[in-house]
Amino acid sequence: MFEPVDPVDRAFLGVERSVSGQRWVSRLDQAGLNRALAMSQQHGIPELICRVLAGRGVGVDDAPAFLQPTIRSLMPDPFTLTDCRPAAERIARAIERREHVAIFGDYDVDGAASAALLHRVLFHFGIDATIYIPDRIFEGYGPNPGAIGKLIDDGAKLIVTVDCGSTSIEALKVAHERGIDVVVIDHHQVGHALPDCHALVNPNREDDLSGQGHLCAAGVVFLVMAALHRLMRERGDPRAASLDLLALLDLVALATVCDVVPLKGLNRAYVVKGLIAARHQQNPGLAALFAKAGVGGPVTPYHLGFLIGPRINAGGRIGDAALGSRLLTLEDAGHAAEIAAKLDELNRERQAMEQAMLAEAEAEAMADYGTGEGTPVIVTARENWHPGIVGLIAARLKEKFNRPAFAIALDPSGKGTGSGRSINGFDMGKMVRAAVDQGLLVKGGGHAMAAGLTVERSRLGALRAFFEEAARDTVSTLTANRVLKIDGALGASGATFDLVDQLEAAGPYGSGHSQPIFALPMHRVKDSRFVGTNHIKVTLEGLDGGRLDAMAFRAGDTDLGRLLTGSRGDNLHVAGTLSGDFWQGTRRIQVRILDAAKA
């Protein structure tokens, strides 16, 4: 009996091996295509959009609500989070007593946004809280006994940690012994042992049943602030009526995008509604950054993740770690412009350092590993590297070699501070924790896609050998069977602004809700040329005569780049993402090329 071939078993457009070594396949199997068709027929949504939704797990009946997420429908009762009530009540008591409150944050975007969000709400209720952000290099992540002691010496009666604190047992012990309450608001993984504090709000606690473990720290802070708002209304505080929490969602959206948490459930609503708030530019600090970054047109997740986030992070990486959070709390536009200019300058310095470090890292990796085909893990280490930038270098190495990669900055004493980035399907954090258990690392931890570590230089060789043995089988399987999942085929003339708008409504896209990838079959390369730093700009023409501008970023020295520049006048199958951006005030459609194959 003839068995029909499932679409997922066939190569999409017959591309068994693209120029990047990937097999193109349909994201949807036959059952998924049937769901997409049913969704389209039931709700009148274009079938291509329904394919995108079905490919991301949206059910037939759920499509209309998914396309219009609301905070009201997706936000839980904040008090379902373990310890949220005692946390909100303690903060309310601090407001009523006009206590000196200190906010201890992290040095990344999520930490800065969380601290600024809490500061803004407290300031609305008359409390001008102190924000403390630790130095990445000299203090490291999270509360430390010295910093906690100093905050208490400076008069803090309540300390609230945001985006950190869940595992800071020794540091918070200092506060407990001195009779100072600490409220922890965090989202990181928590062990069995919890710090001694007044309240610990973390949806990843083992005893938390709220189901909100996918939130970033700012998302959790927002829930605590919603609980606080409710309490202050119940207590008759007249200032509660004028607090517009939804206007602060620009900070939550910024953190959610930059912390790369899954864009599902409440996170999607945070970003969708937060983008609306961001477009009003009511936060002078964000507005100053938008101006400095040259953001044109409506604010998008791309702007937050690739233009604003790196500038805020630059302070924590190579400058004053508190600059970002300070900027996001400001009301004075002139002062905001000064700090935005400083962060922009630091970001340019960071980019220059990153380029120099990346060149050294790639040269070392090529010398040690060649093209990377023979090793499951790339490990590079150098003296004079900035420890605040090694994570960016690891990410670039991972992209170039399609392997889990580490970059380690060695100090004069021989101790290395490193960061790693993984490929889909390989749990890097688990491997690093195993290396700690084996005594190969001073310390280390992380999650599936990223990890940090501290290692003695003398142990580097043993660490490389351990990583290679631990990763060989899994990484070999993952890299030998590389596939690119295609959401559908599209012609140049079909790439309209209407389609882009509908795709944006099905977003935002990011972790856990991937950007749709479309194949453009049999498109002629009318023009291709280098632009900027190693990017390639291409003009594609479809069989119907429609044309599209396309970009292949950082592709100049890759097989993809060589194919694009060497195929003028030829037909290619091209795969990429579709977006509508603004250039000098004019909206245009652009394809970001991810892969290609000869037609």
pLDDT of 8 > 70? The answer is no
The alpha carbon of residue 61 and the mean position of all alpha carbons in its chain are separated, in whole angstroms, by: 29
The model's pTM is 0.90
Residues 68-96 have pLDDT tens digits of 999 999 999 999 999 999 999 999 999 99
| The pLDDT value given to residue 325 | 97
Residues 139-179 have pLDDT tens digits of 878 899 999 999 999 999 999 999 999 989 999 999 999 99
| The pLDDT value given to residue 274 | 98
Tell me the HSE value of 179 on the side-chain side, using a 13 A CA sphere. Answer: 1
- Average of per-residue pLDDT values in the chain: 93
- Determine what percent of the chain is predicted with pLDDT higher than 70: 98
CATH architecture of 370-480: Roll (3.10)
Say how far apart CA 455 and CA 443 lie, in whole Å. 7
Question: Which residues, 6+ apart, have CB-to-CB distance to 473 below 8 Å?
Answer: none
Residues 188-231 have pLDDT tens digits of 888 788 999 999 999 999 999 999 999 999 999 999 999 999 99
Q: What is the 3-state secondary structure (H, E, C) of 374-443?
A: CCCCEEEEEECCCCCCHHHHHHHHHHHHCCCEEEEEECCCCEEEEEEECCCCCCHHHHHHHHHHCCCCCE
| The pLDDT value given to residue 576 | 97
The amino acid that residue 493 corresponds to is S
Q: What would the mean pLDDT of 548-567 be, rounded to a whole number? A: 94
Q: What would the mean pLDDT of 559-581 be, rounded to a whole number? A: 95
Residues 300-329 have pLDDT tens digits of 999 999 999 999 999 988 888 899 999 999
Residues 528-546 have pLDDT tens digits of 999 988 899 999 999 989 9
User: Beta 535-541 vs 547-552: how paired, if at all?
Assistant: antiparallel
73-345 has CATH 3.10.129.10 classification: no
| The pLDDT value given to residue 445 | 81
| The pLDDT value given to residue 350 | 93
- Determine what percent of the chain is predicted with pLDDT higher than 90: 83
Residues 22-55 have pLDDT tens digits of 999 999 999 999 999 999 999 999 999 999 999 9
Say how far apart CA 590 and CA 576 lie, in whole Å. 10
| The pLDDT value given to residue 7 | 58
The hierarchical CATH code for the domain 7-55+487-598 is 2.40.50.460
pLDDT of 581 > 90? The answer is no
Question: Each residue of 31-52: b (16+ CB within 10 Å) or e?
Answer: ebbebbeebbeeeebeebbbbb
Residues 555-564 have pLDDT tens digits of 998 999 999 9
| The pLDDT value given to residue 580 | 86
Q: What would the mean pLDDT of 567-574 be, rounded to a whole number? A: 96
| The pLDDT value given to residue 6 | 56
Domain ranges across the chain: 7-55+487-598, 73-345, 370-480
DSSP code string of 231-242: HHHHTT-GGGGG
**Closest Cα partner for 281 from 260, 308, 256?**
308
Least reliable range by pLDDT among 8-12, 118-122, 347-351, 533-537: 8-12
| The pLDDT value given to residue 577 | 97
| The pLDDT value given to residue 371 | 67
Neighbours of 184 (CB within 10 A): 28
Element (H, E) at 484: strand 483-486
Least reliable range by pLDDT among 336-340, 342-346, 402-406, 532-536: 532-536
| The pLDDT value given to residue 112 | 97
Residues 258-303 have pLDDT tens digits of 988 889 999 999 999 999 999 999 999 999 999 999 998 899 999 9
